[in-house]
Structure 1
Amino acid sequence: MIAFGSPPAAVGGSAGAQDYPRAVNGVNVNRDETALERATVDSIGPGIVDCALYAEGTRQGGQVPLDVAWETARDAGDGFVWIGLYEPTTEQFEAVSTEFGLHPLAVEDAVNAHQRAKLEIYGDIAFAVFKTVRYVDPEELIEVGEVMVFLGPKFVVTVRHGKAGSLASVRRQLEANPDMLRAGPSAVLHAVVDHIVDGYGTAAEGLGNDIDDAEFSVFDSARARDDQVTERLYTLKREVLEFRRAVRPLAEPLGRIVRGDVPQVDPRTIEYFRDVEDHLLRAAEHADWFAELLTGTLGANMAQIQSRENADMRKITAWVAIASANTLIVGIYGQNFVYMPELQWKYGYPLMLTLMLVISVCMYRGFKRNHWF
């Protein structure tokens, strides 16, 4: 979304980037970042995907043990440590929370997940929760995950839940930009939020394409009678609401950062957060628009269904009326009275059949003229 400074032509040009393994336990980095995180989860410490020390805008070495990284970061002038975790248990997170003095309530939220997007301040540590979104196009489903960020003076801890929003690429891209890394933990917070909001835009694009197709199918006579059209519209409406629940709550914490109400955020990065806020507001507007569009499309679809049902009822009523007229004549002549008109006339039977046919034709033409057929 934003380019900070002038990054090198390739990620490998940043210091420490050569320490990233191309494959870990047989898992290709570019093919499956989530699988990579699981493969490396025990290489540094229980539940820790990566632990890196940064100073003067560059990564110092490769993966560093947690206690060594923290001690070195405290002694370095502008150094900080970034620890990444993926779906840690309480026991796995205990070492991190103890090392950095994280608040127990924030730790509980980070481990259990299922939180709304929010930003809380615990002393000199900021704790933020962000919802990640991934749109699975073939199934037309929204997958929602979470990323929690602990932001301290010399450290940043990211905790990720769910398949969406892998941060491996965020770390590589940020390491390719030493100018921004010099801003410290705030640079990591921005890169994470920027990546998440970019995911909102990608999901909105996929949702928009499918909603347009569903709207077209409602007014397409060849597909309008398909019962799956209504089911698809309801499914998309549910996914849009899920998308909106993920996007909308982020506006408040991001607004606090942009206004400078979070002292843990470096003032030099606020202008970049403002750009992310603009993208977030656009994604939220898309979510609102999608919800309104689907509501109107569902209304049009239900109106078409009701119109077709009314047309079917008119046809049934018309045929019943035609049959009733003939039934009336047949019923009268089936009473077996002795004195009835034309009973002794040899043309009486053909006459009644002709009369019934004429009545049926006249009624049919009258109903058709009034668009009942």
Structure 2
Amino acid sequence: MQTSLQIDSRFPQMGTTIFTVMSRMAAECGAVNLSQGFPDFQADPALFDAVHKHMCQGRNQYAPMAGMPELRQAISDKVAALYGPRYDVESEVTVTAGATQALFTAIAAFVRPGDEVIVFDPVYDSYVPTIETVGGKAVYARLQFPDYTPDWAQVAQLITPKTRMIVLNSPHNPTGSLLTAVDLDKLVELLRGTNIVVLSDEVYEHILFDGEKHASLCAHPELAERSIIVSSFGKTYHITGWKIGYVVSPAELMAEFRKVHQFNVFTVHTPSQLGLAEYMQDASRHLGLAGFYQEKRDFFRNLLAATPFELLPCRGTYFQLARYSAISDLPDRAFAEWMTREVGVAVIPVSVFHADGHDDRVVRFCFAKKEETLLAAAERLCKAFVKPR
């Protein structure tokens, strides 16, 4: 159907997300899809059984706006056990329809037209469109290649009276880098005496490698008092399609968050919340995630060791960056499309995460896949790029 309406697009430059583009291309070309960040294996059947039980018990009507009390209690208990502070179940914990909704809601609740929001470039693709949707302006601090560490002197220069919010993401998508306790100390020095709110995207909080510890803003008292902290059950329990996450923050900030949350989502699927609350009682299920994914990371890196890809450090998340300068001079988007069509492995070009399209000739692989998937991808990569002896 076509319309005769003349649409004056509010967002004429906003296109389709690269994840949709590359996954569609992968399907069309029959490529192994290591582009979009989702597991291709099942979650624990015990979680399905728990949700099914609550469905059969009739727990199928609206949950409270902030989330089922059982799940909010389990979240509060988990955060206290891992990071120290005890968030109040009634006023400081909210269950959301995934992390993306939580991020959108937080930005909409605090950012006004004309406000500036500092983000770190390369930046996960949902932040800036959300900032612009509510009339704010994204201001970019560049993470330093190849380790993707923040330059706090640069951040200090970017803070102005218009700065309303800083968005953090650690472990960082797409780069796999981490913020450290030292980074948080430097940040708090910059924020003292301001009313800047921090939005901390910590959806990969349990996926850190080589003994690294997650520097959650929950555990830093000065930052926690001004922070909205977001996490995701989808990333933790291999259920990205369920779209369930949560937010913790001080009551004053949460009250503002819920003003928006009640009207853009209101509530989240009841039996899934109850099943998650039950499943979370065994802490080994999230505490074992680092070891589980480190095995996959190491397995994948070993498979690619013979190729000309330069594998960059991966300290967290389930993404592996690789520089391909020894293979091709193509820009990274063209290289990713060529890889999908000609090699049969779909990846994400990292330049799409840069506001200015900056291109270091780096692509992103997702290794949250079954071994056979990773083996199939590696076989195609080695066939294309490893010369026979």
Q: Normalised by the shorter chain, which TM-score bucket?
A: under 0.3
Bigger RCO of structures 1 and 2 (CA < 8 A, at least 6 apart): 2
Q: In proportion to residue count, which structure has more helix?
A: 1
**Higher Rg of the two aligned structures:** 1
Question: Taking structure 2 as the reference length, what is the TM-score of the superposition?
Answer: 0.22
